[in-house]
């Protein structure tokens, strides 16, 4: 609409935003793996900390390898479709859990949710709409995304058994 130069500027802004997102995922993802390993939900390997740098190096290497694989094997659009679908789906599920936890925990609640129940309900509604629209307009990548997520279910179930003893040991030591 504003010409080739404006298109280049917008493309640069989008690229910088995506680099910021990748950087954030490379920084936060490994810390999640680290915490999960410390809780016994992932192999202890991910909970190791580099003694010199003080960072969870194996988890950072794993997250970086996953990010590199996504970048090298997909187009910009496919990466957005696959990862965007999963991010929206899981964010919607996480916010939906607020309603479940409110019912289960009762009073007093450990945390506050501003705008409850309207704000989370709107988030869940919009997330659901976005998920349905993604399935409608990009069915193949959405089904592949669901397949990848579903493939994680057996891994999760296996980890529950494989790491249950380790979690029990960790809990006893706290």
Predicted confidence band of residue 116 (pLDDT cuts 50, 70, 90)? confident
φ, ψ of residue 53 to 5 degrees: the values are -90, -20
What pLDDT is stored for residue 163 in this prediction? 67
- The angle subtended at Cα 62 by Cα 23 and Cα 31, nearest 5°, is 60
What pLDDT sits at residue 43?
82
Can you give the pLDDT at residue 109?
67
Question: Looking at residues 103-129, what average pLDDT do you find?
Answer: 84
Can you tell me the distance from the alpha carbon of 8 to that of 44, in angstroms, rounded to the nearest whole number?
A: 46
pLDDT in tens, 58-98: 999 988 888 788 778 877 777 777 778 888 898 899 899 88
Q: Which residues contact 145 (CB under 8 A, 6 or more apart)?
A: 81, 82, 85, 86, 89
């Amino acid at each position: 609409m504003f010409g080739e130069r404006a298109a280049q500027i917008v493309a640069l802004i989008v690229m910088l935003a995506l680099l910021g997102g990748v950087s954030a995922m490379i920084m936060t993802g490994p810390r999640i793996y680290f915490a999960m390993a410390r809780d016994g939900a992932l192999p202890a390997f991910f909970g190791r900390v580099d003694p010199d740098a003080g960072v969870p190096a194996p988890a950072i290497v794993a997250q970086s390898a996953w990010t590199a694989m996504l970048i090298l094997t997909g187009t910009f659009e496919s990466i957005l479709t696959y990862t965007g679908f999963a991010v929206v789906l899981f964010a919607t599920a996480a916010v939906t859990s607020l309603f479940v936890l409110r019912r289960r925990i009762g009073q007093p609640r450990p945390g506050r949710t501003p705008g409850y129940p309207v704000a989370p309900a709107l988030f869940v509604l919009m997330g659901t709409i976005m998920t349905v629209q993604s399935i409608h307009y990009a069915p193949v990548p959405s089904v592949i995304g669901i397949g990848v997520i579903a493939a994680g279910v057996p891994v999760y179930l296996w980890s529950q058994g494989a790491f249950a003893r380790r979690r029990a040991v960790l809990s006893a030591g706290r």
